[in-house]
Structure 1
């Protein structure tokens, strides 16, 4: 009874607060910095999904989300096995030994993966991992099935670091020969994944040595290769940020164990994750956790003058840490099907840009560790962009971001939750109704969201967006209004309205495909400009997003 009363009082207070119109101001004359396409990066555990039907289809769609290159990162590019994917497992069998102990290289599966990237027009972020069975030093069985996939010796240090370095050189040389020097020089080469947890069964010093031999090998084949790491986990964990710092100290002060030369580092990578939970029967997200990870990681990097301008790749930036854990395993993961996921992502996007500006570092990517899983139920609650070829609402926030370009410009909102408050306690007591805006030649774009960590029903928010700084000689602007909400750009609610079919008819499937695309809220319309400003009234439901695109 008391819980129901508390929820009712919370709802009533939210309704009262939302009765006041949220005022959002956008000033095109106040640039904040470049609108870098940090959302055009994606990744997944199961590299063998790349060449499957829906994987190939999704790669083409990812290419089309952005006018700039889209990068793809995948685990298990060097893992031994038959090439059949499982949850959190894939393999290429690139490296074996013959009867005399000589290396045998088989690039058939890797070539299929990289050919699919090339055919889709996306670029690889080549993650050098994991350890081939013939090189693995660990005593455990090589492969251990999900959910204990981190227990296998596939995560162990090499028996022979020189052989590991030669594997990296041979792989890079093969890819340069197959795809061309100019293409391979545009890729990023990352050494391993999360070596501060059981993804690596060695010590910090052994990882540093692994890094040295890997980059020496890649650079021997491709001197211009952009190499980096260490892809550590959440820096809000003191042990994780200590590992990151020790790695940066190694690069800054030591010589390479591979060749005695200075150690190359072209980008720095680490991961940032939230932590959703079920609270009183509903999902509560953890935006504060993901942004604190970025805050701590950026601060650590900013302490090194020689590194603070290097690109930072958040090579996994997500609401939580297990893409392969479905909502059947963890009910909190049902957030992945609806609009809560894209609303969270929009709020995180602005928070990451703000933290980059605060620490004066160079954020290059917030890579979404999400792709697709073949042969699973529709909307099973995996962290994916699509389910059986049907795009989920999250896909459309990346489409929205891809429609923004130019310079980020200043915004204010009476519904904004300040960054420091989000860092300390998340978005729990009131919604974050805010905006991220850009200004390009003869155009502007404003991304709006009504986000709260708690996934509870709430009244729509009346909102007024005023855009200032339109050129004095412009008297009319064309408005295009895209929307993600319960009835727009949302195949999940369409699927539920059908009765949640696990075997949709061809007509239903076509309807779901269409519902998964980015949709307009209204028809394009011309607006009058007064004294360089235009005002746009709208209503923004909870966990909904709007993209307002102005052109003149």
Structure 2
């Protein structure tokens, strides 16, 4: 039995920024109905502040246009689709985190593309036309949405350290892109915050150090450092699907700390904010772990610690409308999303929901370890417990309130314990889908049935606090995540109502 002792006078660091930003597939997908349904569900239930996705300048959004007139090639911009997309985002209470990419075909210096939807990943053939396009968009957005646009975060490109995302992973060419873009934006309006280098995995320390050396030499200071964070070993591909082994959480946190240490080693850049503009377990959109309860438990530990050295972190992605490797083949296909088609919440969805509820309850953390985080407010306590791939456990939690609750012979204070449990037994839509025969395209009735298995088990009890201490026991099964609240109970029964008599009446 795991024992936890919670003292109301304790104070522990816990930076819970779970709702700052969430990822999405390419922005053009926001023109589809299913995408917007999934985003609305996520916003209604959790409510993220920003959304970041690829393809802002890709041809399906159609911003950059060229035409010939009087024998000259001229440029014009088309904001029809981006206005439609951003209007809907704002209606849903979420704002763009502007990732500047990929390259419009007519502005590209080469033909290299990535993904099913062929995002061009080569540098611009004309940097002035590139920066003109960026500034024209920012000006348009300010005219349409007002001065608040200057608070929308900006990131230059995506994963330039990977040759698929940036031609030959050319470090010096990316540094040029960053400098030209950064200076153009700051000249236009210095209030915009611009970050980079948005790297992922490969040679991360070399890239971060090289980027900061370049910025120091050029006398520019990025407003934030951005990078990505995935936590699996190289996957095994079987058919359509990728099978990956999770990496050790401690090792992954140490990797994040190494980036913080590199940044802080420069006097010019010490304490610059770091944004994880993408994070998840598997880095492929067919990573079967994404649909599991294990994913939810592992990410609970991630969310408990990502704020230690990073100002912000953005889960990749909110929903399963995603087409990097083509249109998905089945309902549960290992998609990045925390929500599957039909607004079926995966177990991971509830991990994010629970951390948002924890933030709403209080930011005063009184206990944190590798498998738990607990906060307090004047209402009582709230916490999240998780169990990563271990046998079922009973957590015994002793809450010390700091002063005796039963003064002057009064009865002990009563508290209401509410638990919301997500585990393989009680909240496992993947298992029900499997037991139904793994229908690739479930009917409406099958979808509703699977969705009914995708909600936490809610249980409650009354706990007495004797001599300033309340003791509770919470079952956390293998790959489970449990959210609980322990709040003061105000018992005000109506005249003549006897609950014990009601439930025992024959």
Cα offset, 1:401, TM superposition: 0.7
Q: How does 1:385-424 map to 2 (within 5 A)?
A: 385-389=338-342, 390-405=344-359, 406-411=362-367
In 2 relative to 1, CA 194–506 (structure 1 residues): closer, same or farther, beyond 3 Å?
Answer: closer
In 2 relative to 1, CA 217–550 (structure 1 residues): closer, same or farther, beyond 3 Å?
Answer: farther
1:501 to 425, 431, 439: 439
Q: Is 2:161 aligned against 1:189?
A: no
Q: Is the 8 A contact 1:29 1:409 kept in 2?
A: no
Q: More displaced, 166-175 or 467-476?
A: 467-476
In 2 relative to 1, CA 473–466 (structure 1 residues): closer, same or farther, beyond 3 Å?
Answer: closer
Q: Is the 8 A contact 1:274 1:290 kept in 2?
A: yes
Q: Is the 8 A contact 1:276 1:319 kept in 2?
A: no
2:281 alignment partner in structure 1: 319
Cα offset, 1:156, TM superposition: 1.3
What is the number of equivalent residue pairs in this alignment?
Answer: 463
2:388 to 451, 468, 472: 451
In 2 relative to 1, CA 273–204 (structure 1 residues): closer, same or farther, beyond 3 Å?
Answer: same
2:223 alignment partner in structure 1: 266
1:163 alignment partner in structure 2: 129
Q: Is 2:487 aligned against 1:551?
A: yes
Cα offset, 1:74, TM superposition: 0.3
Q: Is 2:173 aligned against 1:206?
A: yes
Gaps of 5+ in 2: 407-412, 489-506
1:342 to 263, 276, 296: 296
Deviations 1:273-327 (A, max 9, x none): 1114689x9963114453343122122122234434332111111213222xx2x
Q: How does 1:477-516 map to 2 (within 5 A)?
A: 477-516=415-454
Q: How does 1:462-541 map to 2 (within 5 A)?
A: 462-469=394-401, 475-517=413-455, 519-522=456-459, 524-541=460-477
Q: Return the TM-score normalized by structure 2.
A: 0.84
Deviations 1:126-157 (A, max 9, x none): 1001111122112xx3546549x6xx7x2111
| Separation of aligned partners in 2, 1:440 and 1:193 | 40
Deviations 1:418-467 (A, max 9, x none): xxxxxxxxxxxxxxxx2012223424221111103xxxxx6421221222
1:71 alignment partner in structure 2: 50
Partner secondary structure for residue 513 of structure 1: helix
Deviations 1:494-549 (A, max 9, x none): 323333333434333223333334x2331x33322234332211221111110112
Deviations 1:89-147 (A, max 9, x none): xxx12112211222110111212221221121112111001111122112xx3546549
2:208 to 244, 266, 283: 244
2:24 alignment partner in structure 1: 44
| Separation of aligned partners in 2, 1:309 and 1:145 | 36
Q: More displaced, 540-549 or 281-290?
A: 281-290
Say what the alpha-carbon RMSD is for the aligned residues: 2.7
In 2 relative to 1, CA 119–472 (structure 1 residues): closer, same or farther, beyond 3 Å?
Answer: farther
Cα offset, 1:486, TM superposition: 1.9
Q: Is the 8 A contact 1:39 1:367 kept in 2?
A: no
Q: Is the 8 A contact 2:401 2:468 kept in 1?
A: yes
Cα offset, 1:168, TM superposition: 0.9
Q: More displaced, 501-510 or 245-254?
A: 501-510
Partner secondary structure for residue 375 of structure 2: strand
Q: Is the 8 A contact 2:18 2:356 kept in 1?
A: no
| Separation of aligned partners in 2, 1:409 and 1:114 | 36
Partner secondary structure for residue 373 of structure 2: strand
2:64 alignment partner in structure 1: 95
Q: Is the 8 A contact 2:3 2:396 kept in 1?
A: yes
State which structure, 1 or 2, has the greater radius of gyration over its C-alpha atoms. Answer: 2
Gaps of 5+ in 1: 1-20, 84-91, 256-262, 327-332, 417-433, 453-457
Cα offset, 1:59, TM superposition: 1.5
| Separation of aligned partners in 2, 1:464 and 1:127 | 45
| Separation of aligned partners in 2, 1:116 and 1:142 | 31
Cα offset, 1:204, TM superposition: 2.2
In 2 relative to 1, CA 278–189 (structure 1 residues): closer, same or farther, beyond 3 Å?
Answer: closer
| Separation of aligned partners in 2, 1:177 and 1:305 | 38
| Separation of aligned partners in 2, 1:43 and 1:335 | 18
Cα offset, 1:39, TM superposition: 4.9
| Separation of aligned partners in 2, 1:168 and 1:129 | 10
Partner secondary structure for residue 263 of structure 2: helix
Q: Return the TM-score normalized by structure 1.
A: 0.77
Cα offset, 1:410, TM superposition: 4.3
2:336 to 363, 379, 383: 383
Partner secondary structure for residue 54 of structure 1: helix
